Amino acid sequence: MSYKIIIDSCGELTREMKASGHFETASLQIDVDGYHIVDDETFDQADFLRRTKESNECPKSSCPSPERYMEGYHCEAEHVYAVTLSSELSGSYNSAVLGKNLYIEEYGEKDIHIFNSKSASVGETLIGLKIAECEEKGMSFQEVIETVDAYIEEQHTYFVLETLDILKKNGRLKGLKAVVATALNIKPVMGSTPEGSIQQLAQARGMKKALAKMVDEVAAKLTNPQEKILAIAHCNCEERAIAVKEMLLTKADFKDVIILDTAGISSMYAADGGVIIVV
């Protein structure tokens, strides 16, 4: 069966995914002080980080429209999948579902399924790779859905950022206790909840100790790492990401390791120096 996987632009695509012909990005958009940015291949991370640093306003994002998803579903592929940001953090999932409804009204029934990643960034990347793996094995449409749903339930997302300001100002940390004053250089170790919202897992003084603490959190929850891909995303801090990878490889062997620089939406929330781990 032919297949297509649409991933909203919070999920970074590897070079191989881009070249495969099976993956497509549905771009979110960002506004910084009236400057409009489409989160696609034209995204300039350095320029974005500069604009954000110079701005007194918090950048705002908007998700792909239902019509954009509908256009993505209108293709020759027999099986179409969409992977979106956690529905707890963005309207992208609801937009993708509405796009499916619009498609069915316009063109009739088709095998389309939308996965709520309950994650972000490279969490979406890994889910896209899992879908492709299942399709390449010749699984039926329903078997792919069941297998990937089970994979999502087992997936864990972790991150340490230099600042949580944008997450806080845009309401993505609802329900969390007040974060310790940044003047103390306390860095919280954050992670995903089973529902796809954000929780604090630990904290440490200074980025180096916080990254080590995050690695400990990852290792404590690992099961069958040799069967899993370790994915690390970083915002403009490749050396930091590599150091995290090396720390994790002293604790477990993985099937593969992916390191990617964040695209637009992930750069907006991770901010300069942020590191995200998904496994």
**Bridging pattern class, strands 229-234 and 275-278:** antiparallel
User: Do the domain assignments include residue 48?
Assistant: no
User: Do both 173 and 92 map to the same domain?
Assistant: no
For residue 221, give both structure tokens. 């929850």
Dihedral angle computed from the Cα positions of residues 132, 137, 143 and 144, in that order, rounded to the nearest 10 degrees: 0
SS (H, E, C) the chain: CCEEEEEECCCCCCHHHHHHCCEEEECCEEEECCEEEECCCCCCHHHHHHHHHHCCCCCEEECCCHHHHHHHHCCCCCEEEEEECCCCCCCHHHHHHHHHHHHHHHHCCCEEEEEECCCCCHHHHHHHHHHHHHHHCCCCHHHHHHHHHHHHHHCCEEEECCCCHHHHHCCCCCCCCCCCCHHHCEEEEEEECCCCCEEEEEEEECHHHHHHHHHHHHHHHCCCHHHCEEEEEECCCHHHHHHHHHHHHCCCCCCEEEEEECCHHHHHHHCCCCEEEEC
CA angle 263, 26, 168 (to 5 degrees): 55
Which residues in the chain land under pLDDT 70? 175-183
Contact (CB, 8 A) for 230 and 236: no
Q: Which amino acid is at 196?
A: G
**From CA 138, how far away is CA 135, in angstroms rounded?**
5
Q: Please give the tally of structural domains in the chain.
A: 2
Provide the CATH number for the domain around residue 256: 3.30.1180.10
| Percent above pLDDT 90 for the chain | 91
Contact (CB, 8 A) for 24 and 6: yes
Provide the CATH number for the domain around residue 133: 3.40.50.10440
User: Do both 73 and 204 map to the same domain?
Assistant: no
User: Do the domain assignments include residue 82?
Assistant: yes
User: Do both 143 and 183 map to the same domain?
Assistant: no
Residue 245 CB neighbours (<10 A): 17
Tell me, what's the pLDDT at 112? 98
User: Do both 113 and 236 map to the same domain?
Assistant: no
Q: How far is CA 65 from the centre of its chain?
A: 18
User: Do both 105 and 168 map to the same domain?
Assistant: no
For residue 230, give both structure tokens. 């370790």
**Bridging pattern class, strands 29-32 and 35-38:** antiparallel
Q: Which amino acid is at 95?
A: S
Q: For 14-27, what is each residue's pLDDT tens digit?
A: 999 999 999 999 99
